[in-house]
A = this chain, B = another copy of it.
Amino acid sequence: MKRQFTFLSVLFLISISLFASNNTENKKKYYNPKQILATVEKVADWQLNSWKKDGMIYPKWDWTNAAGYVGMYHLGTISKKSDYHDILLSISKELDWNTGPERFYADDYCIGYTYSKLSLKHKDPKMITRFRLLADSIVAQPHTESLEWKNEINHREWAWCDALFMAPPALSMLSIATKDPKYLEITDKLWWKTYDYLYDKEEHLYYRDGSNFTKREANGQKVFWSRGNGWVMAGLVLLLDNMPKNYSTRAKYISLYKEMAAKMASIQQPDGSWHTSLLDPERFDVIETSGTGFYTYAILWGLNNGTLDKATYLPVALKAWKALESAIQPNGMLGYVQPIGWQPAAATQSSTAIFGVGAFLLAGTEMYKYTKKSKIAKN
């Protein structure tokens, strides 16, 4: 009798707890991947509508758009709607699979990522004929020039941190699309050249370019730009996706990734975002969604891949995700994107830009994946 009572008690307790849990779900106390996907699609759809209505602000091959296409492509891999890949195919055809006008300027071949992805998807090597010829030229260069910020060095070398998003994902994806490892090899070589020059090994952050080494914020701190470091972390994660698990230098990338992730966690703002001046957040004292989007993406990627530990980084990611969600306007427009620039500057409620949307789509896609496999309580 005592045993039976115990058994029933346990059953009862389980029922109670199941009921409670169910109840919690009804009250949406857990993240719902479907809802997340709906949010992400809403933001993407606002962008598609804006293109339809007003056209693109900058040329279709421009980095502003090309960076956005990366997020659009990722969303297309989890969405049931074909719109996100369709638009990229249509744009690429209109561009006749050309990259931008400046041959060795990373900004101008960022779009090679999209071409390579589409070439793989459609099994059509002609989509990357031109990008491949360009990449062959990049491979052929000795790349012996210093990254000192003069003589338009950014038109030849990855001499500013944004380049680490523009170029490595595109070139490493080209290696997958062509099965020729040389584009990954040059990426590997040039990644560390930029690392040696722009990475501050004390602060674990990248300078935007060499002209910033001696600049200081009003509070005496070095100048580290949020979106700039966001370009690096997102570029790093996209590169890791394209790199064989047994690649010789992979461990170095992972180590860099963890070091930067730890730094980002340590300087996250109470509002969940990162402000445009990472070490002087009061200078522009407001959330900023392009840098935050990239960090959220990069950290969620580490959680999805088991590279980062959940106890430390999940709270960071969720707090950042909330900040991002708070910047979405009722019509789906993502606000608080710092406009085009090259240093910390203001973002406002109404400032949006396609590359900021792209960062959000990357973050949202990882958030969807994470919440689909792991139940996460909202709080």
Q: Could you say which residues of chain B place their CB within 8 Å of the CB of A346?
A: 140
Assess whether A331 is interfacial by the CB under 8 Å rule: no
- Residue A308 at the chain B interface, CB threshold 8 Å: no
Interface residue A312 (Cβ < 8 Å from any Cβ of B): no
Asked whether any CB of chain B lies closer than 8 Å to the CB of A149, the reply is: yes
Asked if A54 and B140 sit within 8 Å, CB to CB, the answer is no
| Cβ contact within 8 Å between B339 and A142 | no
A211–B152 Cα distance when bound, in Å, is: 13
Q: Is A311 an interface residue (CB 8 A)?
A: no
Q: Which 10 residue pairs across A and B have the least CB separation, nearest first?
A: A137-B339, A140-B339, A137-B340, A140-B345, A140-B346, A54-B129, A57-B130, A141-B345, A57-B133, A142-B345
> In the assembled complex, how far is the CB of residue A48 from the closest CB belonging to chain B, in whole angstroms?
17
Assess whether A338 is interfacial by the CB under 8 Å rule.
Answer: yes
Asked if residues B101 and A339 are in contact (CB atoms below 8 Å), the reply is no
13 A-B contacts, Cβ less than 8 Å apart?
A: A55-B96, A55-B130, A57-B133, A104-B340, A133-B339, A136-B351, A140-B346, A140-B347, A140-B351, A141-B341, A141-B345, A149-B151, A151-B211
Are A130 and B341 in contact (CB-based, < 8 A)?
A: no
User: What is the minimal beta-carbon distance from A289 to any residue of chain B, in angstroms?
Assistant: 14
Q: Which of B58, B130, B137, B343 contacts A54 (CB 8 A)?
A: B130
Interchain CA distance A101-B56 in the complex, whole Å: 13
Residues of the B chain whose Cβ atoms lie less than 8 Å from the Cβ of A103: 58, 340
Report copies per complex.
3
- Distance in Å from the Cβ of A141 to the closest Cβ of chain B? 5
Q: Give Cα A134–Cα B96 distance, bound, in whole angstroms.
A: 27
The interface bits of chain A over 123-153 (1 if a CB of B lies within 8 angstroms of the residue's CB, else 0) are 0001001100110110011101000011110
**Interface size on A (CB < 8 Å)?**
38
CA distance A101 to B59 in the complex (A): 8
Task: Name A's B-contacting residues (CB within 8 A).
Answer: 54-55, 57-59, 96, 101, 103-104, 126, 129-130, 133-134, 136-137, 140-142, 144, 149-152, 156, 211, 338-348, 351
Q: Note all chain B residues with C-beta closer than 8 A to A54.
A: 126, 129-130
Q: Least Cβ distance of A174 to chain B in Å?
A: 15
Closest to A129 in B: B54
Nearest B residue to A343 via CB reads B142
CA distance A130 to B57 in the complex (A): 6
In the bound complex, residues from chain B placing their C-beta under 8 Å from that of A96 are 55
In the complex, A306 Cα to B157 Cα: how many Å?
Answer: 45
Set of chain B residues within 8 Å of A149, measured between Cβ atoms = 151
Cβ–Cβ contact B140 & A338, under 8 A: yes
Q: How far is the CB of A340 from chain B (nearest CB, A)?
A: 5
CA distance A103 to B130 in the complex (A): 26
